[in-house]
Structure 1
């Protein structure tokens, strides 16, 4: 008799993939709303007409710093949205949850916490 060991699942089931899809879609909807708010801030406030002298210069500097901070937040949010969208593509391809470094399934708990990840904890720790 041969001793055959089964290596375990090589991908998540369609039911599990649907659960992940819903989680990611919810996160994506929230991220899009937040991105829209950040974009509105960037496209909005530009009026400081009634200020004069040094005070206006300080306010301009603070406004520039604030705008740069909001811009950085918007850029991070856009990248996050792109990562979530890529995760939805992987779900469609049925490759979601497979570590790109080890080829093993990423733990479900990790995917629930970081649904756009492409690395298992094992691979992530090796990376550092």
Structure 2
């Protein structure tokens, strides 16, 4: 029926959304794990482009940041 097709579309959209969210969270966890590795090897908070310290404000906002604000602006 017409309504069952709508329900199928909704469940497909919901599955796609949930899949997207799972992938997004998995990627975020991976970035956080890399940040933990940088903490262990004492490179956390150091910009990989400039070698300068990344500001504490930036690290609070983006704990997995590998670029300082200046380097990030240049790369985007």
- Structure 1 residue 113: Cα displacement: 1.0
In the alignment of these two chains, the number of paired residues is 76
CA RMSD of aligned residues (A): 0.7
| TM-score (norm: length of structure 1) | 0.58
Task: Find 2:41's aligned residue among 93, 99, 107.
Answer: 93
Q: Which runs of 4+ in 1 moved over 2 A?
A: none
Equivalent residue number for residue 50 of structure 2: 102
Q: Radius of gyration: which is bigger? A: 1
Gaps of 5+ in 1: 1-52
Quote the Cα distance in structure 2 between the aligned partners of 1:124 and 1:58: 43
Task: Find 1:82's aligned residue among 18, 30, 33.
Answer: 30
Q: How does 1:48-127 map to 2 (within 5 A)?
A: 53-127=1-75
- Structure 1 residue 112: Cα displacement: 1.0
| TM-score (norm: length of structure 2) | 0.95
RCO comparison, higher one (Cα < 8 Å, 6+): 1
